[in-house]
């Protein structure tokens, strides 16, 4: 009986040791998997968000000879995780009504060549790029810029879009200043010709672009001018439709 009891105790102890060993192996395996998961999460790049307001960035552009009328100028900078930057200037009348906007976009890898027209349409209140139609072109110190407007709306604001390949740069915006199309065209021409560079950062090509543009800078009339753009020598020169 004593021998049988001893054998039973030895068997129970052996099974207990095997059970504890199995639990230990499972615990070791779980800890290893957890460590692997933590390493994977640490090495994976965070999910990239869209555009965000960059409060700590400094303005890179300005408008010389600002409009003397009582308008408020706001300046905002937006950045994209893929490298893009947008400097946005808006002119707002008393009462909070925006009357003009100028955006300088230095794209990163997020740039979509099919997006600029749709983006401008949205900023002008259109639902899609197809809601805008070509309204000719206008000369500026940066070269020819495309004009866009809402079809079937004579009172709509006038938009503009200028794409530069080297360095990669896009200048766009809109203006509601002036009671006539010639006045709004003149306002856009003045806006582009008065755009200056404050700092190029580490981009010498951007500095060279603005330096060369200043050599082509011309005079412009007031944004509220009522002169006929065909006969007014200082009005921006148009080259027909696109």
Give tens-digit pLDDT for 74-126. Answer: 999 999 999 999 999 999 988 788 899 999 999 999 988 778 888 888 888 76
In the prediction, which pLDDT does 130 show?
64
Q: pTM for the whole thing?
A: 0.69
CA distance 33 to 27: 10
pLDDT class of 46 with cuts at 50, 70, 90:
very low
Give 33's pLDDT tier (boundaries 50, 70, 90).
confident
- Unique residue bearing structure tokens 């400097």: 87
**Is residue 227 predicted with pLDDT exceeding 50?**
no
Average pLDDT over residues 218-226: 52
Q: What are the backbone angles phi and psi of residue 143, rounded to the nearest 5°? A: 105, -165
Q: What is the pLDDT of residue 123?
A: 87
What value does the mean pLDDT take over residues 125-153?
83
What strand order describes the sheet that includes 85-93?
52-53, 71-79, 85-93, 98-106, 169-175, 158-164, 143-149, 133-140
Overall residue count recorded for the chain in this entry: 242
């Amino acid at each position: 009986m004593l021998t049988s009891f001893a054998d039973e105790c030895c068997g129970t102890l052996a099974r207990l040791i095997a059970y504890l060993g199995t639990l230990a192996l499972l615990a070791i395996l779980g800890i290893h998997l957890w460590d692997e998961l933590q390493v994977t999460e640490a090495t994976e790049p965070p999910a990239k968000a869209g555009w965000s307001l960059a409060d700590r960035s400094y303005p890179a552009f300005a408008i010389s000879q600002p409009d003397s009328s009582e308008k408020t100028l706001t300046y905002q900078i937006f950045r994209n995780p893929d490298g893009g930057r947008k400097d946005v200037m808006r002119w707002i009348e008393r009462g909070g009504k925006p009357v003009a906007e100028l955006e300088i976009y230095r794209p990163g890898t997020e740039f979509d060549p099919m997006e600029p027209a749709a983006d401008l349409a949205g900023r002008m209140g259109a639902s899609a790029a197809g809601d805008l139609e070509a309204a000719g072109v206008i000369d500026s110190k940066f070269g020819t810029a495309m004009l866009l407007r809402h079809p079937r709306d004579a009172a709509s604001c006038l938009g503009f879009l200028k794409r530069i390949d080297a360095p990669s740069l896009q200048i766009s915006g809109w203006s509601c200043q002036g009671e006539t199309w010639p006045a709004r065209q003149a306002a856009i021409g003045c806006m582009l010709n008065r755009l200056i560079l404050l700092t190029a950062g580490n981009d010498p090509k951007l500095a060279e672009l603005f330096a060369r543009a200043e050599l082509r800078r011309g005079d412009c009339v007031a944004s509220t001018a009522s002169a006929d753009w065909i006969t007014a020598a200082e009005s921006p020169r148009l080259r027909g439709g696109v």
